Structure 1
Amino acid sequence: MKQIKFLIILLLGVFVSSCSDFLSPEPISAISTDNYYKNDIEIETGILNMYNGIQGLNSTDTDDNHAIQVEYLLTEVYCDNGKTKSSEGEQAQFEEFKVSPSNGYVSDYYGSFYNVIYRSNLVLENLGNASDANKASYEAEAKFVRGYAYFNLVRLFGDVPLVDKIIQPLDTETQFTRVAEDQIYELIISDLTTAVNGLGAGTYGRASKATAQAILAKVYLTLGEYTLAKELLVDAMASGYSLEPNFKDVFYNEGNKEVMFAIVYDGDTSNDSQNFSAEWQNAVGRSTGLNYVTDEAAAAMLAMGGNRTAYTYRVDPKNLNLNQVAKYIPNGDTALGIEPTSINPVLAGNDWIVLRYADVLLMYVEATMGTADATSDITAVNAFNLVRSRANMPTVNSITKQELLDERRVEFAFENQRFFDLKRFGVAQQVLSQYSADNGYGFTATDLLLPIPQLEIGLSKGVLKQNPGY
């Protein structure tokens, strides 16, 4: 059994009736909840509903919010790690760096995470009804989720609207006016700092103090604030998490001691399952072959992956010339000793890992290195070697920035990290230009940001402006 259930049966009818417009294309921050969130029990359902928003819906309805279930297209397929099997449809726009403003997956993700922000704002708006005993923790958790959502949006889209409260339907200026990245980051830092100060140990599938510290550290790394990042990572490294001895168990022994934040799914349930695991396979999901392994990623794994390689990709059993992702397999693999997570792979139960301890260790190396090209700092080297030793790779006495980027690639392949890593390390344009040229794709510098969805621009009646190049 999962430790979180996102359907609160007792109060479901009340909640749905007051929030039935969650998926409407109208400004989502204007929904009234005057008759809800009046006590701790109801506010707790709002807290869980934030995570439900990140979880997304397992459906084929293009009007639904699928949230993190489509994130791999905007990150892994949108770099040199992933590709589609057939190079067709809207999904192929990502691998070819030809994403249209009308792309449905871009619109889905953008709307989904503003919906998550709205759900967080609902909780924050009603903190006055919380008990004194729980008010601070509710605020911390809501601000963690909001900060996390904005961090994803600002890295993918650049300047975005800043909606930090419930707004009225006619307040289109707030809803659609793009705010400079530095102001978005100010809110993210403020929110995650509140989360660090107000959260405790947490429970599986929900935010904890250490999770907030690590996410905030990644924010600071993105901004080049290495000392601030390192301070947070030192604390996170002392929080009780550790590496799983067996790399396979990170993904197939859910709730393990390495996972610091995961989005929880239940297999064979229509409401709490996911379909992306099946979409990564061949003729298993509703759509298939949507996150196959590029030749470049496969070569990197063979050269530097060690024993991670077998549980990162496998040969497509139906097409021996192609490689599939071996993380999050929904229907099992006898040869790899992987059990199915559901009877129906389209209703997969594989949890999605947002953050794990290996990331904290390698971020610590990054923070220690700072603006230098290498480090031989003993603590950083030891952290780096912990990750390499588990992979049965040789230990080192010093680390270059390129070696760190390479290690992150093979450790976190197909975990939606690569695109963000390339940008944070300042090499995205160089790496993706070369990758694009080698494969006949169309990458340009403006592709470092995705287009603002045309749907949103249309709704804004010209208030919302498009990114350059689109």
Structure 2
Amino acid sequence: MKLKNILIAASLSTSLLIGCGEKFLDVQPTDQVSTEAFFASEADHEKALVGVYGILSRDYYEWTYQPLNMLSDLMSDDSYAGGGAGGSDQIEWQLMGQFNLTAANNQTTQAWKKCYVAIQRANTLINNFNSDVFSQKEAADGMLGEATMLRAHFYYELARHYENIVIVDLAAGESEITQSPVDETYAYIAKDMLDAIELLPDSQEHGSGRLDKWGATAELAKMFVFYTGYYKKDALPVLDGQPITRTDMIGKLEDLFLNSGRMLEADYATLWGATGDWTNESLFEIPHADTGWDQWQTEKLGNMGCQMAGPRGYKVNKDNSNYLTGGWGFGIPSKELVNAYEAGDMRKDVTIISAEKLLDDAWRVNPDHESGNPKGLLEVGHAWTGYFTFKYTTHASITPATWEAMNFPQNYVYIRLADMYLTAAILYKQEGNQGKADEYVNLIRARAGLTAKSNVTMDDIYDERRVELAMEGHRYFDVLGRGLEYAKQELDITNYTVSKGPADDPKYTEVSGGVFGDDLRGELGVPAHFEVTFDVAKKGFWPIPQSELDQLGSLKQNAGY
């Protein structure tokens, strides 16, 4: 099954999407046909599995823009919400980035709903799975492993965003639905992940988008580091099993490094844009496709994050741009991230692009454009830093011919091999194995063109993760996973000084949406746009949606809300 192609077909036929109940926490799985009639063949099981996979690429869920990697980053110290100037564009993103969420926030409500719809679909498949209709046991095991791993993935998304979540019990009545204690939640998810690893194949068809055992191992490692770090534990509990120790997790990662067939790409730049899909480094990749759809739709398969991140009001089209086409200007890199790169780090220009470079390209293409405010070639936005992300964005080489917002075909790589080497470095450092920690950090630094380090500290490892994985949705959970005191120290921004550009060249000051004469090479806005106060009382998590509290009186709101 080539997942990207089948998802395109599935988006045109909602009969393939199993189990879409109206309630977020429907206890009993619902189907468009009865389970007895539906799960009668291997093909039926595959259709149901596509319904679960399909939620992964739905980052425009229920008419709500929510690429989860972008939302994670704007809560970190790497990114600001951005968007249009004036402070009213996607205000819920801004509130999230400033830790001022309420239980009525539509972003967090829809993220909760999306995850539970996916879990419901996975439960429908898992609880009605009929291995007797499969011609080969390996195929049945693999498909059941995929469904189990996807259920675990969506539960983990819920656990790390909301903490106090519901593990759906099919035997429970609605009045009995309660949130699980945190340790029980993680034990349940860990068991699912371990079960999936045993069932999943060592490899899948290249470019299929289907999970193998190594993708499941990788997410288990990420969950292990977050859980043990945030909750100050030595091991990850497993339902009805032995806890996973640090030594166990290192062994699983070494197995991945030795036997997965994954390898670091020689050129960091090939990981994004036209060459970034299905690289040798990918472990867990979410496909997106250009369906050619020419109107707004929520079942779309394009990468909404690309359109969200592209430079706002940029006046260069895909046929003559050296870099990007226009977008909406969200997910603005912070000055702190820009300054985090060492001199000579080849990752910086792959991760971040400056307004100066974009304007130089626009002037090359349009030397005789109509000048003067508001005829500028680039529109200033909220919390303007003079930079844009350059990983998931409006790359000219992949800009769709029709309805760009719906159709950017750039996949999102949730986990790649470099992440796992640096995860292993954390675990080795904690175990006191300095040599292996140094080895894996320097493996990543060498590709970036940097000199080796010796006796790396934990801060060194996390700094390396920051610049290696920047704007990929990992920084916030790296920070939060080191504890609330550390998060407060890292994420608070007070007494901010806005660093304006020199305004010594008029070609950088023709701005639409700002003040004529503002230099787009510097920061624009007031200090309050850049200041953040991490609310320790909320423990770093999102609120339980108010609609859920109203519907299920047995649920309790998270601390601080």
Superposition deviation, residue 42 in structure 1: 0.7
* Structure 1 equivalent of residue 216 of structure 2: 212
Structure 2 counterpart of 1:418, from 452, 468, 475: 475
* Structure 1 equivalent of residue 364 of structure 2: none
Contact 1:221/1:229 (CA < 8 Å) preserved in 2? no
Q: Distance in 1 between matches of 2:465 and 2:130?
A: 43
* Structure 2 equivalent of residue 444 of structure 1: 535
Q: Distance in 2 between matches of 1:143 and 1:363?
A: 24
Structure 2 counterpart of 1:359, from 408, 415, 419: 419
Matched residue of 2:354: which SS? strand
* Structure 2 equivalent of residue 327 of structure 1: 391
* Structure 1 equivalent of residue 69 of structure 2: 72
Residue 428 of structure 2 corresponds to residue 368 of structure 1: yes
* Structure 1 equivalent of residue 176 of structure 2: 173
Structure 2 counterpart of 1:185, one-letter code: Y
Residue 107 of structure 2 corresponds to residue 105 of structure 1: yes
Q: Distance in 2 between matches of 1:450 and 1:281?
A: 27
Superposition deviation, residue 151 in structure 1: 1.3
Structure 2 counterpart of 1:411, one-letter code: E
Residue 360 of structure 2 corresponds to residue 296 of structure 1: no
- Residues 163, 9 of structure 1: alpha-carbon distance in 2 compared, 3 angstrom cutoff: closer
Residue 292 of structure 2 corresponds to residue 232 of structure 1: no
Larger Rg over CA atoms: 2
* Structure 2 equivalent of residue 336 of structure 1: none
Matched residue of 1:443: which SS? coil
* Structure 1 equivalent of residue 30 of structure 2: 31
* Structure 1 equivalent of residue 285 of structure 2: 262
- Residues 79, 260 of structure 1: alpha-carbon distance in 2 compared, 3 angstrom cutoff: same
1:391-430 equivalences in 2 (<5 Å): 391-426=448-483, 428-430=486-488
Matched residue of 1:382: which SS? helix
* Structure 1 equivalent of residue 404 of structure 2: 345
Q: Distance in 2 between matches of 1:310 and 1:268?
A: 30
- Residues 194, 282 of structure 1: alpha-carbon distance in 2 compared, 3 angstrom cutoff: same
Root mean square deviation of aligned Cα: 2.7
- Residues 60, 150 of structure 1: alpha-carbon distance in 2 compared, 3 angstrom cutoff: closer
Structure 2 counterpart of 1:154, one-letter code: A
Superposition deviation, residue 55 in structure 1: 1.0
Q: Distance in 1 between matches of 2:284 and 2:22?
A: 26
* Structure 2 equivalent of residue 122 of structure 1: 124
**Length-normalised TM-score, structure 2:** 0.74
* Structure 1 equivalent of residue 166 of structure 2: 161
* Structure 2 equivalent of residue 135 of structure 1: 140
Matched residue of 1:266: which SS? coil
Q: Distance in 2 between matches of 1:11 and 1:329?
A: 26
> Which stretch shows the higher mean deviation, 339-348 or 392-401?
339-348
- Residues 189, 441 of structure 1: alpha-carbon distance in 2 compared, 3 angstrom cutoff: same
Structure 1: unaligned runs, 5 residues or longer = 333-338
Matched residue of 2:339: which SS? helix
Q: Distance in 1 between matches of 2:291 and 2:15?
A: 26
Superposition deviation, residue 145 in structure 1: 0.7
Q: Distance in 1 between matches of 2:491 and 2:449?
A: 32
Residues 77-130 of structure 1 deviation map (CA, whole Å, 9 limit, x = unaligned): 011111022443111102211111111111111111111111111110121254
Q: Distance in 2 between matches of 1:213 and 1:356?
A: 12
Contact 1:113/1:149 (CA < 8 Å) preserved in 2? yes
Contact 2:24/2:116 (CA < 8 Å) preserved in 1? no
Superposition deviation, residue 296 in structure 1: 1.1
Residue 78 of structure 2 corresponds to residue 81 of structure 1: yes
* Structure 1 equivalent of residue 439 of structure 2: 382
Residue 6 of structure 2 corresponds to residue 5 of structure 1: yes
Matched residue of 1:5: which SS? helix
Residue 198 of structure 2 corresponds to residue 197 of structure 1: yes
Superposition deviation, residue 290 in structure 1: 2.1
Superposition deviation, residue 216 in structure 1: 1.3
> Which stretch shows the higher mean deviation, 128-137 or 362-371?
128-137
Matched residue of 2:285: which SS? strand
Q: Distance in 2 between matches of 1:13 and 1:60?
A: 15
Contact 1:250/1:256 (CA < 8 Å) preserved in 2? yes
Structure 2: unaligned runs, 5 residues or longer = 229-233, 236-245, 294-299, 314-324, 359-377, 497-529
Contact 2:59/2:68 (CA < 8 Å) preserved in 1? no
Superposition deviation, residue 146 in structure 1: 1.0
Superposition deviation, residue 260 in structure 1: 1.2
Q: Distance in 2 between matches of 1:180 and 1:42?
A: 36
Contact 1:4/1:264 (CA < 8 Å) preserved in 2? no
Q: Percent of aligned positions with the same letter in both sequences?
A: 21
Structure 2 counterpart of 1:466, one-letter code: Q
Contact 1:141/1:195 (CA < 8 Å) preserved in 2? yes
Q: Distance in 1 between matches of 2:454 and 2:536?
A: 36
- Residues 393, 29 of structure 1: alpha-carbon distance in 2 compared, 3 angstrom cutoff: farther
- Residues 40, 428 of structure 1: alpha-carbon distance in 2 compared, 3 angstrom cutoff: farther
* Structure 2 equivalent of residue 453 of structure 1: 545
Q: Distance in 2 between matches of 1:213 and 1:49?
A: 23
Structure 1 counterpart of 2:413, one-letter code: I
Contact 2:81/2:330 (CA < 8 Å) preserved in 1? yes
Structure with the largest fraction of helix: 1
Contact 1:84/1:95 (CA < 8 Å) preserved in 2? yes
Superposition deviation, residue 4 in structure 1: 4.4
**Length-normalised TM-score, structure 1:** 0.87
> Which stretch shows the higher mean deviation, 28-37 or 255-264?
28-37
Matched residue pairs, number? 448
- Residues 60, 126 of structure 1: alpha-carbon distance in 2 compared, 3 angstrom cutoff: closer
Superposition deviation, residue 449 in structure 1: 1.2
Q: Distance in 1 between matches of 2:330 and 2:125?
A: 35
Structure 1 counterpart of 2:551, one-letter code: L
Structure 2 counterpart of 1:249, from 249, 270, 279: 270
Residues 191-243 of structure 1 deviation map (CA, whole Å, 9 limit, x = unaligned): 11011111111243121111111111222223243212201100111111011
